[in-house]
Amino acid sequence: MKFQDLIEDRIRSVDAALNFYLPGENVYPQTIHRAIRYSVFAGGKRMRPLLALFTAELFNPDWKRVLPASCALELIHTYSLIHDDLPAMDNDDYRRGKPTSHKVFGEGTAILAGDALLTYAFKILAGHTFTENDFNYSYNHNVTSQLKLKVISDISRAAGLGGMISGQVVDMESECKQVDEATLDYINMHKTGALLAVSARAGAMLGGCSDEEAHIISVFGTYLGKGFQLVDDLLDVEGNEARIGKATGSDSKQGKATYISIYGSEKIRYLRDELYQKALESLEPIKNRNIGSSNLMNIRELARTILYRDH
Amino acid sequence: MKFQDLIEDRIRSVDAALNFYLPGENVYPQTIHRAIRYSVFAGGKRMRPLLALFTAELFNPDWKRVLPASCALELIHTYSLIHDDLPAMDNDDYRRGKPTSHKVFGEGTAILAGDALLTYAFKILAGHTFTENDFNYSYNHNVTSQLKLKVISDISRAAGLGGMISGQVVDMESECKQVDEATLDYINMHKTGALLAVSARAGAMLGGCSDEEAHIISVFGTYLGKGFQLVDDLLDVEGNEARIGKATGSDSKQGKATYISIYGSEKIRYLRDELYQKALESLEPIKNRNIGSSNLMNIRELARTILYRDH
C-alpha cells in the first residue's frame, strides 16, 4: 500500500471508531452531542491517533488494539482546542476554517463539550478493547489491565499539570510579554509536545514494547513535538490561509510569542531539518530488533509528514 | 469514637491525602497550583469522600485503600463547582462564603484549574494505592488493576455524559423556562445525584463488595443523591446565609427551577423523610451479612447527616 493510502486507511478506521464511541446527535440532551460531534469531526488531521497506531505497529501487527487509546487521544486533543479557543483564553473565532465551538453553541456549551470529551477519553481508556464483534476485528486482544492503568496515568500526566495545562497557563501569562527561548520551549513542549510524545509512547506500550523501547519512542515523540510547534509557527506566517483554515499572522496579532520572533523563518527551517534527523536517529537502537523494515519506514514517513506539512 | 469525631477524623485523612497529592503553591507555574488549592481547600464538606470511605468500611476494615478514590471524587466535585460558577454557566460570585475561582484568578485560569482537577483525578484513580510509607499505612492493599479500571469507568460515566455533564446541559437549557417534575428529576439525578451515587458505589467496590452488593449500595446512593438536592433547594430558601456561604434565594433569582417551586417546603420535608427511610431500607439486604453493626450504624448516620444538614 502506498504511504498516503495507508494514512487514509488508518484515518478511516479512527473515524469509524470515534463514530462508534460518540453518542448520536439525537441522543438526549442533543445540544451537547451535536457540539461534541461538530468539533470531533471538524477535519482534524488525526496526528495523535496516527502516531499511536504507527508506533504500536512497530511492535505488534495488531494495531487495532490501539484504536481505543487513539480515539481517547484525539478526544483530549479536541477538548483542548475547544477550551483554548474560548474568549477567556485565545479568543479564536475560527478553527480549521469553521466557526469555533463557542461561536456556534455558546460559551457554556463549549466549556461542557470540552469537559465531556476529556471525561469520556478516560472512560474509553479504561474500557473494553475491541473484540471480534467490532469492525470485523479478528486479533486476540491481550492488553492487560495493568498496562491500561499505566497508559491512563501517562496520558493524564501529559494532558494535565505535567503537560498541556501547565503549558497553556504559561502561554496565557506570557501574552504581550517579551518571552525568552527557555520559556517558549517550556510552553511548546508542555502545551503541544507532551501530548504528541505520549501518543507515540502509549501506542508503543499498548503494542507491547519493553520499558527501554518505550523510552526510545518517548524521545522520538519529543523531537516530533518540538518540531511540530516550529512548523506551526512557520505556517502561521507563511501558510496558505485556505488550507490552514484561519488567518495567518494571528499569533503575532494576539501578542503571542512564537519561534518566528526569536529565530526567523530561515533558522526555523534549519532547526526543523535538524529535529527531523534527530527523530530518525533516535529510532536507530530499535532498528535491528525484530521489527519489520516496512513498519520502521512508515513511522519515519509519518515523522516527515508531520514536520513537512503545509497545513 | 463518637460519630462526629469519626467524621472529623476521616475528613482530616482526606485533607491530608489531598495535600499529599496536590503540588505545592510554589511549584511552577504557580498560578494554577494556587487556583487549585484555593478551591480544593475552600471548606468543602467532603461528602463524596466520606460516602466512599464509609461504604468501603462496610465490607473492609481497610478504609485507607479508598483514600485515593475519595480524593479523586472530591477533585471532580471541585472541578464541577469551578466550571458551574463561570459567567457562561451559573455566573456565581460567591461559593462557600468566598469569591469564586474566576473572580480571584480570572476566567481563563478558572477554566484551566477545573480542567486540571478533572485530569488529575484520573491520574490518581489509575495510580498507586497508599503503601506503608504514606500516612503510617499498615494494611496490605490488594485493589486489583481490573477493579481500578472498573471504578475509573464508573466514575467517568457518572462525571460525564452519563451524569453530571448532561445534567448541567439540561439545567442551563431550562433556565427561565417552565420545567416539569420529570425534567427537574433528570437535572438533579444527573447533575448531583450521579456523582454521589457513584461515590457510594466506588467505595463499596474498592472495599471488595460483590456485584450484588454494589447494586444495593448504588440504590442507597441514588436515594441519597435525590434527597441531597431536595435539601439543597430547601436551604436555598430557608437556610442561614452565613452558614451556607451564599445569598439565599439565588436559584430563583437566576430563573432556576427548583423543587421549591414544584412542591413547596412542606412537601419537601415530607419527601426528605421518605427518602431517608428508603435509603435505610435499601441497606436491609446486607444487614445480616458479615458486616459489623457499628459500620452499618455509621453509614446510616452519614445518610442522616447528609439529608438533615443545615448548610
Give residue-wise pLDDT tens across range B136-175.
Answer: 554 445 688 999 999 999 999 999 999 999 999 999 999 8
Of A146, A152, A170, the CB nearest to B122: A152
Q: Does A132 touch chain B (CB under 8 A)?
A: no
Question: Which residue type does B243 have?
Answer: R
Average pLDDT over residues A264-277: 95
Cβ contacts of B108 on chain A, cutoff 8 Å: 86, 88-89, 172
* Separation CA A73–CA B106 (nearest Å): 28
Q: Does B144 touch chain A (CB under 8 A)?
A: yes
Instruction: Reply yes or no on whether the pLDDT at A75 is more than 90.
Output: yes
Largest CA distance in chain A: 55
Q: Does B23 touch chain A (CB under 8 A)?
A: yes
Nearest CA in chain A to B150: A126
Q: Does B156 touch chain A (CB under 8 A)?
A: yes
- Provide the pLDDT confidence category of residue A310 given band limits of 50, 70 and 90: confident
DSSP B95: E
Q: What is the pLDDT of residue A47?
A: 97
Nearest CA in chain B to A106: B88
Percentage of chain A exceeding pLDDT 70? 89
Q: Give B140-144's long-range contacts (Cβ < 8 A, gap of 24+).
A: B140/B62, B141/B62, B141/B65, B143/B65, B143/B206, B144/A145
Residue entry with cell 491512563: A152
* Separation CA B227–CA A177 (nearest Å): 51
Alpha carbon B35 to its chain centroid, in Å, reads: 20
Of B111, B120, B127, the CB nearest to A88: B111
| Min distance A262 CA to chain B CA atoms (Å) | 22
User: Which three cell numbers, joined as nine digits, stand for A186?
Assistant: 517550556
Which of A254-263, B14-23, B264-273 shows the lowest mean pLDDT across its residues? A254-263
Q: What is the pLDDT of residue A137?
A: 53
- Provide the pLDDT confidence category of residue B249 given band limits of 50, 70 and 90: low
* Separation CA B147–CA B156 (nearest Å): 14
- Which distant-in-sequence residues (6+ apart) come within 8 Å of A14 by Cβ? A46, A49, A50, A53, A67, A70, A71, A74
DSSP B99: E
Q: Does B241 touch chain A (CB under 8 A)?
A: no
Which residues, listed in sequence order, are joined to residue B95 by a DSSP beta bridge? Answer: B98
Average pLDDT over residues A278-283: 96
Cβ contacts of A150 on chain B, cutoff 8 Å: 126
pTM for the whole structure = 0.94
Of A111, A112, A122, the CB nearest to B152: A122
* Separation CA A10–CA A70 (nearest Å): 11
SS3 of A97, please?
Answer: coil
Return the exposure string of B133-151: e unless at least 16 CB atoms fall within 10 Å of the residue's CB, then b: eeeebeeeeebeeeebbbb
Per-residue pLDDT tens over the stretch A15-29: 999 999 999 999 999
Q: Does A128 touch chain B (CB under 8 A)?
A: no
Average pLDDT over residues A169-176: 92
User: Which of B122, B124, B155 has the most A C-beta neighbours within 10 Å, making it the best mutation to test the interface with A?
Assistant: B122
Of A32, A122, A149, the CB nearest to B161: A32
Residue ranges of A 177-216 with Cβ closer than 8 A to chain B: none
Q: Does B115 touch chain A (CB under 8 A)?
A: yes
The mean pLDDT of chain B is 90
Average pLDDT over residues A261-275: 93
Instruction: Reply yes or no on whether the pLDDT at A132 is more than 90.
Output: no
Q: What is the pLDDT of residue B49?
A: 98
- Provide the pLDDT confidence category of residue B253 given band limits of 50, 70 and 90: low
Q: Which domains does chain B have, with CATH numbers?
A: 3-307 (1.10.600.10)
Of B107, B123, B145, the CB nearest to A145: B145
- Which distant-in-sequence residues (6+ apart) come within 8 Å of B22 by Cβ? B33, B36, B37, B40, B120
Instruction: Reply yes or no on whether the pLDDT at A140 is more than 60.
Output: no
Average pLDDT over residues A129-149: 67
| Min distance B295 CA to chain A CA atoms (Å) | 31
Average pLDDT over residues A274-291: 88
Q: Does A148 touch chain B (CB under 8 A)?
A: yes
Q: What is the pLDDT of residue B56?
A: 95
Q: What is the pLDDT of residue B293?
A: 76
Whether residue A160 and residue B120 make contact (CB cut-off 8 A), yes or no, is: yes
Question: Which residue type does A165 have?
Answer: I
- Provide the pLDDT confidence category of residue B91 given band limits of 50, 70 and 90: very high
Q: What is the pLDDT of residue A242?
A: 59
Q: Does A26 touch chain B (CB under 8 A)?
A: no
Q: Does B30 touch chain A (CB under 8 A)?
A: no
Cβ contact A105:A33 at 8 Å: no
* Separation CA B242–CA A171 (nearest Å): 39
Average pLDDT over residues A89-94: 94
Q: Does A254 touch chain B (CB under 8 A)?
A: no
Beta-carbon contacts below 8 Å between A and B: 142
User: Which three cell numbers, joined as nine digits, stand for A299?
Assistant: 513511522
Q: What is the pLDDT of residue A176?
A: 83
Which of A175-189, A229-243, A268-282, B48-62 shows the lowest mean pLDDT across its residues? A229-243
Average pLDDT over residues B26-51: 97
Per-residue pLDDT tens over the stretch B258-269: 888 889 999 999
Which of A15-19, A49-53, A219-223, B260-264 shows the lowest mean pLDDT across its residues? B260-264
Q: What is the pLDDT of residue B256?
A: 77
Provide the residue count of chain B. 311
Cβ contact A195:A48 at 8 Å: yes
Q: What is the pLDDT of residue B80?
A: 98
The mean pLDDT of chain A is 90
Q: What is the pLDDT of residue B178?
A: 86
Whether residue B120 and residue A161 make contact (CB cut-off 8 A), yes or no, is: yes
Per-residue pLDDT tens over the stretch B53-88: 999 999 998 898 899 999 999 999 999 999 999 999
Cβ contact B159:B195 at 8 Å: yes
* Separation CA B190–CA B163 (nearest Å): 4
Which of A13-22, A24-33, A252-261 shows the lowest mean pLDDT across its residues? A252-261
Question: Which residue type does A232 have?
Answer: D
Cβ contacts of A111 on chain B, cutoff 8 Å: 83, 86, 88-89, 111
Q: What is the pLDDT of residue B122?
A: 97
Which of A114-128, A287-301, B250-264, B270-284 shows the lowest mean pLDDT across its residues? B250-264
Instruction: Reply yes or no on whether the pLDDT at B182 is more than 60.
Output: yes
Phi, psi of B99 (to 5 degrees): -55, 145
* Separation CA A167–CA A132 (nearest Å): 40
* Separation CA A278–CA A272 (nearest Å): 10
Q: Which helix (DSSP H) or strand (DSSP E) does residue B98 occupy?
A: strand B98-99
Cβ contact A76:A159 at 8 Å: yes
Q: What is the pLDDT of residue A236?
A: 84
- Which distant-in-sequence residues (6+ apart) come within 8 Å of A17 by Cβ? A67, A68, A70, A71, A130, A135
Q: What is the pLDDT of residue B69?
A: 96
Of B118, B145, B160, the CB nearest to A123: B160
* Separation CA B73–CA B124 (nearest Å): 10
How does strand A94-95 pair with strand B94-95? unpaired
Of B31, B126, B160, the CB nearest to A156: B126
Q: What is the pLDDT of residue B261?
A: 86
DSSP A241: H
What is the predicted ipTM? 0.94
Cβ contact B153:B118 at 8 Å: no
- Provide the pLDDT confidence category of residue A138 given band limits of 50, 70 and 90: very low
Average pLDDT over residues B203-214: 94
